[in-house]
Amino acid sequence: MTQSIDSLVIGAEYLLEFAYKARTNQLNDNGINVFWYDAATDFNLAMDANFAVDGTHSLISNWTVQSIVLTAQATTMNLSFGAFGKANSLGGLIDNVSLVQVNNLALVDVPEPPVFALSLLGFALLIRRKKNN
């Protein structure tokens, strides 16, 4: 399964998340590979997967969220999922696939109110409370 994604920013990072669930209790029977490559490149089986997940139903009986950060090498990239393991048409399951750009901006400290202003506010509340009593 392949999806071409365009309008990407070269060098930007993108967070890929998807839900995974093993379908059988057999080892090497539930594998899912993730491939992320320039859309100008033809897919071939010799490509290295960017990410792989595998398990058995007895070990991973519920859906688990898998995450990987991918970097765009072109403005259009292909995202492919492929099964690996036994060729028996069972394999693992995927759902709820999302890809979002990660904010590459430097972290900015949230400005805090000056301590003096907070002290004045606290003092004013105390005075008001005393007046009301």
DSSP β-bridge partners for residue 91: none
Which pLDDT score is estimated for 106? 35
What is the pLDDT confidence band of residue 30, given thresholds at 50, 70 and 90? Answer: confident
Indicate which CATH number applies to the domain containing 79. Answer: 2.60.120
For residue 116, the number of C-alpha atoms closer than 13 Å in the C-beta half-sphere is 0
User: Domain range holding 49?
Assistant: 2-132
Alpha-carbon gap, residue 23 to 50, rounded angstroms: 22
Count of the separate structural domains present in the chain: 1
How does residue 103 score in pLDDT terms, banded at 50, 70 and 90? confident
Task: Provide φ and ψ at 98, rounded to 5°.
Answer: -140, 145
pLDDT value at 131 more than 70: no
Distance CA 51, CA 131 (A): 66
Element holding 83 (H helix, E strand): strand 77-84
Average pLDDT over residues 39-67: 82
pLDDT at res. 120: 52
**Mean per-residue pLDDT over the chain, rounded:** 77
